[in-house]
Amino acid sequence: MILQALTFYLLAAVTLASGVMVISARNPVHSVLFLILAFFNSAGLFVLMGAEFLAMIMVIVYVGAVAVLFLFVVMMLDINFAELRQGFLQYLPVGGLVGLIMLVELLLILGGWAIQPQAAAVAAAPTPAVANVSNTEALGALLYTRYIYLFQAAGIVLLIAMIGAIVLTLRTREGVRKQSISQQVSRRREDAVEVKEVTSGSGI
C-alpha cells in the first residue's frame, strides 16, 4: 500500500506540474512535449486505478496521434505566436465564461455525489456479472452489445468529420501538374509522336 501511495503521489505531482508547464511555457514545442509527459503520467494513474484500457487509449490515441500531430503542426507551420498573443485580451471574457460554466458543471457533479453517496459506488461497480473479467473485455462486451448502435453512430460521425476536413482543406492551385488517367488513355499516337526526316550527318 505504501508503494502504491508513493507511486500515485509521484505520478499525480508530475501530471500537475506538466499541466502547468503546458500553459506557461513560451515555446510551443516545449508545451507539446510537456503535454505528452502529462498524458503518460495520466496513463500511469489509470493503471493504478485498474483501468488498463483507458491507459492504453491515453498512450496510443492521445500521445501517439493527437500530441504528435500537434508537435508536427507546430514544427512545420511558420506561425507568428507573438501576433497570436496580441489578441489575447479580447478573448479573455469568452474564455472566462467557458471556464465558469465548466466550474459550475463540476460543482454540480460533486454536489450530486454529496447528496447521494451511493452514486459513486454504483458508477464504480463492474458492469458484467461474470467474475474474473478484465476491464477491456467488460468494456468491449458493453459497447458491442448494449450500445452497438450508438457506437456505430459515433464512428459514422467521425468518418463524416474526417471527410469534411479533407474536402475543406483540398485546394486547387494553378500551374501544378497532375496526372489524368483518362487523358493518358484517350491520347492518340498522332498527338504524342512526331516523325521528322533528318538528313544524314546534320542532326536534329
Condensed to tens digits (0 to 9), the pLDDT of residues 90-144 reads: 778 888 899 899 999 888 877 776 776 666 666 555 555 555 777 778 888 888 8
Residue 72 CB-density burial (10 A; 0-12 exposed, 13-18 middle, 19+ buried): exposed
By the 8 A CB rule, do 29 and 75 touch?
A: yes
Q: What gap in Å lies between CA 129 and CA 106, rounded to an integer?
A: 31
Using CA atoms in the order 102, 103, 106, 110, what is the torsion angle rounded to 10 degrees?
A: -170
Q: How far apart are CA 29 and CA 77, in angstroms?
A: 12
Helix (H, G, I), strand (E, B) or coil at 97: helix
Mean pLDDT calculated for residue range 2-16: 89
Can you give the pLDDT at residue 153?
Answer: 94
pLDDT tens for each residue of 21-65 = 988 887 777 888 898 899 899 999 988 888 888 888 888 888 888
**Separation between Cα atoms, residue 17 and residue 40, nearest integer Å:** 13
Residue 70's identity, in one-letter code, is F
Cα–chain center distance at 17: 21
Instruction: Give domain limits for the chain.
Output: 1-86, 134-167
pLDDT band at 183 (very low <50, low <70, confident <90, very high): confident
The CATH-assigned architecture of domain 1-86 is Up-down Bundle (1.20)
The C-alpha cell 496521434 sits at: 65
pLDDT-derived band of residue 80, with 50, 70 and 90 as boundaries?
low
